[in-house]
Amino acid sequence: MFLQKYMRYKDPKQPINTRIKDLIDRMTLAEKIGQMTQIERQVASADVMKKYFIGSILSGGGSVPAPQASPAIWVDMVNEFQKGALSTRLGIPMIYGIDAVHGNNNVYNATLFPHNIGLGATRDPRWGRCYESYSEDHRVVQQMTDIILGLQGEIPVNQTKGVPYIAGKEKVAACAKHFVGDGGTHNGINENNTIVDEHGLLSIHMPPYYDSIIKGVATVMVSYSSLNGVKMHANRDLVTGYLKSKLHFRGFVISDWLGIDRITSPPGANYTYSVQAGINAGIDMVMVPYNYTEYIDDVTSLVDKRIISMSRIDDAVRRILRVKFTMGLFENPLADLSFADQLGKKEHRELAREAVRKSLVLLKNGNSPNQQFLPLPKKARRILVAGSHADNLGYQCGGWSIQWMGGSGNITTGTTILDAIKSTVADSTTVDYSENPDDSFMKHNDFSFAIVVVGEPPYAETVGDSSDLTILDPGPDTIKTVCSAVKCAVVIVSGRPIVIEPYVPLMEALVAAWLPGTEGQGVADVLFGDYGFTGKLPHTWFKSVDQLPMNVGDSHYDPLYPFGFGLTINSSLPGFSGADSLEHKKQRTILSTPLAVKLHKRNFQRL
Distance CA 218, CA 274 (A): 25
* pLDDT tens profile 285-307: 999 999 999 999 999 999 999 99
Identity (one letter) of the amino acid at 122?
A: T
- Residue 503 has phi, psi (to 5 degrees) of -105, -10
pLDDT of amino acid 4:
65
Q: Which of 93, 111, 95 is nearest to 103 (CA)?
A: 111
- Residue 6, SS3 per DSSP: coil
Number of neighbouring beta carbons within 10 Å of residue 549: 18
Asked whether 550 and 557 are in contact (CB, 8 A), the reply is yes
- What integer is the mean pLDDT of 343-364? 95
- Choose the catalytic residue: 99, 191, 256, 530: 256
Packed helices 292-304 and 271-281: angle between N→C axes, nearest 10 degrees: 70
pLDDT of amino acid 386:
98
Distance CA 235, CA 220 (A): 14
Res 53 pLDDT > 70: yes
Boundaries of every domain in the chain: 349-589
Half-sphere exposure of 258 (CA within 13 A, CB side): 12
pLDDT of amino acid 588:
30
Calculate the average pLDDT of the chain: 91
Q: What angle do CA 287, 76, 252 make, to 5 degrees?
A: 25
Confidence class for position 570, pLDDT limits 50, 70, 90: low
* pLDDT tens profile 163-209: 999 999 999 999 999 999 998 998 888 999 999 999 999 999 999 99
pLDDT of amino acid 292:
98
pLDDT of amino acid 119:
74
461 is catalytic: yes
- What integer is the mean pLDDT of 98-127? 80
Alpha helices in 425-520, H assignment, sequence order? 439-443, 475-483
Confidence class for position 118, pLDDT limits 50, 70, 90: confident
Distance CA 211, CA 218 (A): 13
Confidence class for position 127, pLDDT limits 50, 70, 90: low
- Residue 139, SS3 per DSSP: helix
Lowest mean pLDDT among 125-134, 415-424, 533-542, 588-597: 588-597
pLDDT of amino acid 133:
82
Distance CA 359, CA 592 (A): 11
Buried/exposed code over 497-514 (b: 16+ C-beta within 10 A; e: otherwise): bbbbeebeeebbbbbbbb
CATH number for region 349-589: 3.40.50.1700
Bigger pLDDT: 466 or 582? Answer: 466
- Residue 371 has phi, psi (to 5 degrees) of -130, 55
Contacts of 350 (CB under 8 A, 6+ apart): none
C-alpha distances (whole Å) from 425 to each of 419, 573, 600 are 10, 19, 31
The beta strand positions in 76-116, using DSSP E, are 95-98
Distance CA 156, CA 159 (A): 5
pLDDT of amino acid 126:
63
Confidence class for position 69, pLDDT limits 50, 70, 90: very high
Res 574 pLDDT > 60: no
Distance CA 437, CA 160 (A): 61
Percent of the chain with pLDDT over 90: 84
Q: What is the pTM of this model?
A: 0.91
C-alpha torsion angle, residues 76, 78, 81, 82 (rounded to 10) = -100
- What integer is the mean pLDDT of 488-498? 97
Q: Which of 530, 498, 502, 529 is nearest to 513 (CA)?
A: 498
304 is catalytic: no
- Choose the catalytic residue: 461, 465, 519, 530: 461
- Residue 361 has phi, psi (to 5 degrees) of -115, 125
pLDDT of amino acid 1:
45
* pLDDT tens profile 518-564: 999 999 999 999 999 999 998 999 999 999 999 989 999 999 999 99
pLDDT of amino acid 604:
29
Alpha helices in 196-291, H assignment, sequence order? 198-200, 207-214, 236, 271-281
* pLDDT tens profile 400-449: 999 999 999 999 999 999 999 999 999 999 999 999 999 999 999 999 99
Distance CA 268, CA 259 (A): 10
Beta strand 56-59 pairing with 37-40: parallel
pLDDT of amino acid 370:
82
pLDDT of amino acid 414:
98
- What integer is the mean pLDDT of 360-388? 95
pLDDT of amino acid 578:
52
Distance CA 205, CA 225 (A): 13
Q: Which letter does DSSP use for residue 146 in this model?
A: T
pLDDT of amino acid 479:
98
Dihedral sign, Cα of residue 442, residue 444, residue 450, residue 454: negative
